[in-house]
Structure 1
Amino acid sequence: MSFIIYLSGEIHSEWREEIKQGIKDLSLDVEVLSPVTDHDASDAAGDHLGEESVTFWRDHKSSKVNAIRTQNAIKKADLVVIRFGEKYKQWNAAFDAGYCAALGKPYITMHAKNIIHPLKEVDALALAWTQTPQEVVDILKYTLQPY
């Protein structure tokens, strides 16, 4: 059994690399998709469409260009992992969770205990809540076992 996963959310830590390494260490047949994780590049995704004097319109253009990648990756994925970090509010990750819910796409969340309450609606539709990349790898290992 093979799987495609999309790793959504926080871009300021190495959690994606840890999941990829766990997949590699277990030789799991998993293709990993992700958003653009270079913050500056993501913010500038729409800059080629013309300069904007109002920040709202620059962000608006870039979010739409980024959505081309994000929406296609979520649709292609068998499972979406959505990471909420400590340092920044990942509103885009919450939006990805809502998009998954609307599509009926399975997703799991990854976040610390101290933000359980603000994420209660997001977690309510998740198929699992994890706190570490290893827990995600363990779920993948179990899911892909040929029982």
Structure 2
Amino acid sequence: MKVYLSGEIHTDWREQIIEGCKAKNLDISFTSANTDHESSDAAGDGLGAESHQFWRDHKSAKVNAIRIQTAIKACDVAIIRFGDKYKQWNAAFDAGYCAALGKPYITLHDETLVHALKEVDGAAQAWATTPEQVVDLLAYIVA
């Protein structure tokens, strides 16, 4: 099974899920967007310097989209994490992309975001509050 990990990059939730799946000997491979801010922001820099930040961000977003869209299309299921420190607009976009493709996804966030994410959760196949719950769901799915 191929699992795409999307969203918040300030905690170790990805590692928790990957290690939890390894501990259960689950046959799962994981992909993710670039989780390094600096290199993600610079993804389009090889296409030439820009004098305005908008155009730098625009080019990098398009280059990053190649990676993200390819990974989402290739995955069997996506895990989309929303943290409490920053608004993850990119994660919401990934959820919408999954929904548009008919790609199953699981949201991962705490109860404080239930109202804000009601539409995103409404299209999800499951909502988890901990990485351990995600591991249990993946174990069930691949069983």
Do they superpose with TM above 0.5?
Answer: yes
Alignment of 1:18-97 (within 5 A): 18-97=16-95
Q: Which one-letter code corresponds to 1:4 in the other structure?
A: K
Q: Which runs of 5+ in 1 are unaligned?
A: none
- Using structure 1 for the length normalisation, give the TM-score: 0.96
In the alignment, what sits opposite 1:112?
Answer: 110
User: Deviation at 1:55?
Assistant: 1.2
Q: Which runs of 5+ in 2 are unaligned?
A: none
User: Deviation at 1:48?
Assistant: 1.2
In the alignment, what sits opposite 2:100?
Answer: 102
In the alignment, what sits opposite 1:11?
Answer: 9
* Partner Cα separation in structure 2 for residue 97 and residue 40 of structure 1: 23
* Partner Cα separation in structure 1 for residue 118 and residue 52 of structure 2: 34
User: Deviation at 1:83?
Assistant: 0.3
User: How many residue pairs align between the two structures?
Assistant: 143
Deviations along 1:5-40, one digit per CA (max 9) or x if unpaired, are 000001111000000000100000001011111111
CA RMSD of aligned residues (A): 0.6
User: Deviation at 1:111?
Assistant: 0.6
User: Deviation at 1:53?
Assistant: 1.8
User: Deviation at 1:69?
Assistant: 0.6
- Percent sequence identity is 64
SS at the partner of 2:65?
helix
Deviations along 1:35-66, one digit per CA (max 9) or x if unpaired, are 11111110110011111121111111000000
Deviations along 1:93-128, one digit per CA (max 9) or x if unpaired, are 000000001000000100111111111110000000
* Partner Cα separation in structure 1 for residue 89 and residue 26 of structure 2: 31
User: Deviation at 1:67?
Assistant: 0.6
In the alignment, what sits opposite 1:123?
Answer: 121
